[in-house]
Structure 1
Amino acid sequence: MKRNLIWALGAAVIMVAGCKNYLDEDIRGGLLGAQALESQEGLEAALTGAYKGWANTWGYGFIHATGIAATMGGDDVTTHKASNKADFREFDQFAVPATNQRTQALYNGCYKAIQGANNIIANYQNTQGDAATIDAIVGEAYFIRAVSYYWLVRLYKDIPLIQQAEFSEDLLAIGKSGPEEVYNLIVGDLQKAEELVPNTKRDPGRPNKGTVKAYLADVYLTMAGWPLKQTDKYALAAAKAREVIENKDLYGFRLLDTYTELFENDPEKNGTAESVFQISTFMGVGSTNNANYGFSAMPGEEGGWDDFFAELNFFRDFPEGPRKDATFRTTFVKGDGSTISWEDSQTQHPYYYKYYQKDEVKNWASQIPESMMRYAHVLTIYAEAQARATGTPDDLAYECINAIRQRAELDLFENMSGPEFADAVVQERAWEFAAERTRWFDLVRLELVAEANSNKDANDLQPIGTLTEENYVFPLPFSETSANPNL
């Protein structure tokens, strides 16, 4: 059987029988079964293995350009027209085949994390140790499973829903579950995590109670849009985001004073107070390096790989000010010391300064944490959801979005209708989180993909064909559908 089927079914454990390549997989931290998890140390090690699904530099997860590539259908990020970027171009041009290796890397990584989480959830009841710590570990496992499925359901829509840790023959013929069933699991898992994780993060790369609430708010916001269109979820999103905002000091969250400070990108600092959730990385072990901050985000003139950079109209329309200055890099220093503008570069595009390392260090990777959600995102969730739920933005909604605009040195919002305000918040989110894997999902849930891609600059990659709802999701990887006809 194909090696990738191991990942697609969510487990190294699933394909032990009859698959010699199982022994080639990275199973560090993958302690399987009840006996291995009888100690608190074993449970903690299994949790480390679950997190690993999100963080393997080249194999799977989010600490390389794959996650950014998968969101290139938005109007903020594009890639090289030629070179070796075929997999990236397929995302940007809405022509993603089942054989695209980048989408498979995300699929594999999320299911690896799910398998690790399932193992903990199925076996923690007999673990001996400190009850509070065991609760925290289990809560993190529910969080990992929920967030992994959240990524999968948004990328693929109909997916295998696996909740068991041990192998059974039925898994070899598992079918797909629809998005409503998947989202119900996600919500249930996040609610369990909310009960179990502490108010304080056990370390910067783990969730606390505020993290879980923030993700639950984001999930509700998404459920209110395409494909479920459960508009009653807007009120739930606003309520949950408000819980985070009103308790931000308890959870250790705040909006940093300047955008420049936010993207200082110092490898010696493990995150900031604006980080709601991050994947911590480590430079020194090849599979734990963060390869987003480095050559991937740099032009060829600086020795970079040209993996991703800004779309032209997005850059031109971006409001002037310190946020724009901190977001984009528009001049590049060549090897001979001369400086060129983005217009004179090979790709003729600005690049994302927010993915440069401190002091513009040139390296292929770093140990800068990978931000998965910032506190500013929670503020925009409340502002949009509250306005859509009630039809009129309240004082807190204005306060939330204006805090972001004030930091960007922009005029403050005032006296807007509910729909006008909500749409303005969505656009503000585009500027605030440019290239942070956010814009694409907003366009999908609001069914704005075709509109956002209708006015591209001629020097940007163009969509192939007419854009419809079919372009909102990717096909499951060929390695999975060829091995299991039910997928």
Structure 2
Amino acid sequence: MKRNIYSYLIMLIFGGLMLSSMVSCEDLDEGSLGAVSGDSFYADELSLESGVTGMFGLMNRACWGVDILAAYTGADDLTTHNGGNKWVFREGDTFALTGGNGRTIGIWNAYYRAINAANTFIEKAHPEGVDEAVVNNTLANAYFVRALLYFRLTTVFGDVPLPLTSSPDYEMLKTPSREVITQVISDLKFVEQWAVNARDTDVSVVDGHATKTAAKAFIAKAYMQLTGWPYGETDKWADVKSYTKQIIDANVYSLMDDYMHNFGEPWENNKEIIFAHQYKRQPWPISGESRWYGAFWAAWMDMFIEWNFYSGFPDGYRKNATTSTTSVDAITYAHPVNTKLLYGTIQGRPEFLHTWQSHNDVAAMRYAEVLLMYAEACANTGAEADAINYLNMVKRRAYAGGATTSDEVAALGAGFWEDADASVDYTAAQLSSKQAIIDAIVKERAYEFVSEIGGNRWLDLVRLEKVGTVNALRDSREVPLVGDPNNKALWYAPIPETEIDLNPNL
């Protein structure tokens, strides 16, 4: 699916069908294709698959750039430079997000477009004469798109509108975040039941459709968010543990030996990637590229690493792959460069370091996240030894035996991270309490997933109520804070002003 899921020629045809009614109240030129009825369009398996392709195209288009990071920069990992057009990221970094922030407006509008497409598909994609299992498999993809985007919307904005049909309601009220997550879990359980994808048993299969494994991983992530603020449902740790253990016990996915191989060609669709937004750079006018990885150096760079975060970053291969203080740009902008976002398309070609639009997929769920969710669930359910064991696997891979190059990592041998390493491993004596184990896991998550679309560092700080704590340690070289990071009302981005103007109920 990698090479056709993001074909915008197909997406534009589908978009004409799906965009005729929007939750976001925008004036759209429907065009002649927009008048085609979904009831008549979905007539067979081929038309169902065309619908899925277009729906994923809308979702991936919504996720092609780093817009959502504007809502995550209140964490202690990411910052931007103090100039140019970066005010949209500085607002988040200084706890001063407004309803006019172009980046959060962008994700709001784009996510709701894709959700509306999913809602329309769920309503209309029921052709006569097609086997129920086939129909439900295609529907599972729509439920997956809707669930993933609603989860991100509610963790960014809090209470949000929750339309589940394609009919616009211009007076819709906000739905409490807890109810949104309930719907997310319900949708993902449909995916868990009905998705059919060979990648669930064979990771060599290249298929970007929804999978049962991805559904389980995101169910676990949703439950994990419920364990902390503002929900406090600590009983959900049992669910996190159950769903992640199912993935581990299936013995299908695994860590890549080389951390860097999760973020660029030719290693995409690898054994660690459980779900990724998939892209392919195409000649104009087809717009199928990613603008997440493969950023320009210099003035075009949006994201840098905060100084305190850099100082605490454990030395080793992962740190070297993620950040640098020696480049010209690090010196110019007085922050460590986020080299993880600079991976280009194919190593050795000029655009590897100097491109803006790349083929690079955007990993949304990796096996490393499953391991660390399981570890934290173990720590919270009395299985401390298991928690330390799975934490150490990720830590060993990050350090990579002191390797500094991919060739040196390869020389360590396949699966080196499965074997105990006294120079790296935490011991029970070092992590002698439940809280010590949890703190170590949360720290590992911070550095493992920095600047990835899942926003794990921000989500962790929110659920653990540590946003104010980490910002109290903010380095004096950072842009001064505007808002108070202890003010929990500022932990959510404001709903776009344009939406409130159109619907004061929001």
TM class by shorter-chain length?
0.7 to 0.9
SS in 2 for 1:354: helix
Judge conservation of contact 2:262–2:363 (CA < 8 Å) in 1. Answer: no
- Report the equivalent of 1:271: 269
**What is the 5 A alignment of 1:331-370?**
331-332=326-327, 340=328, 342=330, 345-355=331-341, 356-357=343-344, 358-359=347-348, 360-370=352-362
Judge conservation of contact 1:291–1:366 (CA < 8 Å) in 2. Answer: yes
- Report the equivalent of 2:438: 422
- Report the equivalent of 2:196: 198
Shift of residue 480 of structure 1? 0.6
**What is the 5 A alignment of 1:121-140?**
121-129=122-130, 131-140=132-141
Shift of residue 200 of structure 1? 2.3
Shift of residue 67 of structure 1? 2.1
Q: In 2, Cα distance between the equivalents of 1:110 and 1:125? A: 24
Q: 1:222 to 1:25 in 2, by over 3 A?
A: farther
Judge conservation of contact 2:147–2:187 (CA < 8 Å) in 1. Answer: yes
The residue type equivalent to 1:480 in the other structure is E
**What is the 5 A alignment of 1:302-321?**
305-321=300-316
Judge conservation of contact 1:282–1:367 (CA < 8 Å) in 2. Answer: yes
Matched, 1:13 2:10: no
SS in 2 for 1:373: strand
Q: 1:260 to 1:185 in 2, by over 3 A?
A: closer
- Report the equivalent of 2:8: none
Judge conservation of contact 2:120–2:166 (CA < 8 Å) in 1. Answer: yes
**1:41-63 deviation per Cα after TM superposition (whole angstroms, max 9, x unaligned):** 2222222232233222xxxx221
- Report the equivalent of 2:249: 246
- Report the equivalent of 1:431: 447
Q: In 2, Cα distance between the equivalents of 1:127 and 1:278? A: 32
- Report the equivalent of 2:171: 173
Shift of residue 269 of structure 1? 4.6
**1:382-413 deviation per Cα after TM superposition (whole angstroms, max 9, x unaligned):** 1112211x244242x22211111111236212
- Report the equivalent of 2:294: 294
**1:269-289 deviation per Cα after TM superposition (whole angstroms, max 9, x unaligned):** 533211111011010155321
Q: 1:130 to 1:386 in 2, by over 3 A?
A: same
SS in 1 for 2:234: coil
* Identity %, equivalent residues: 32
- TM-score computed with the length of structure 2 as normaliser: 0.83
SS in 1 for 2:287: helix
Q: In 2, Cα distance between the equivalents of 1:484 and 1:426? A: 39
**RMSD value over aligned CA atoms?**
2.4
SS in 1 for 2:365: strand
- Report the equivalent of 1:465: 483
Q: In 1, Cα distance between the equivalents of 2:33 and 2:466? A: 41
Q: In 1, Cα distance between the equivalents of 2:358 and 2:32? A: 22
**1:152-183 deviation per Cα after TM superposition (whole angstroms, max 9, x unaligned):** 1101111111011234xxx0111111012111
- Report the equivalent of 1:337: none
The residue type equivalent to 1:387 in the other structure is A
Number of residues paired by the alignment? Answer: 446
- Report the equivalent of 1:6: none
Judge conservation of contact 1:76–1:310 (CA < 8 Å) in 2. Answer: yes
Structure 2 residue runs of 5 or longer lacking an equivalent are 1-17, 200-204, 400-422
Judge conservation of contact 2:70–2:91 (CA < 8 Å) in 1. Answer: no
Q: In 1, Cα distance between the equivalents of 2:193 and 2:177? A: 24
Q: 1:27 to 1:52 in 2, by over 3 A?
A: farther
Q: In 2, Cα distance between the equivalents of 1:82 and 1:40? A: 51
From 413, 419, 422, the counterpart of 2:426 = 413
Matched, 1:52 2:57: yes
**1:94-130 deviation per Cα after TM superposition (whole angstroms, max 9, x unaligned):** 1111011100111112111211111121123335445
Shift of residue 433 of structure 1? 0.9
- Report the equivalent of 1:374: 366
Q: In 2, Cα distance between the equivalents of 1:392 and 1:179? A: 30
From 450, 470, 479, the counterpart of 2:498 = 479
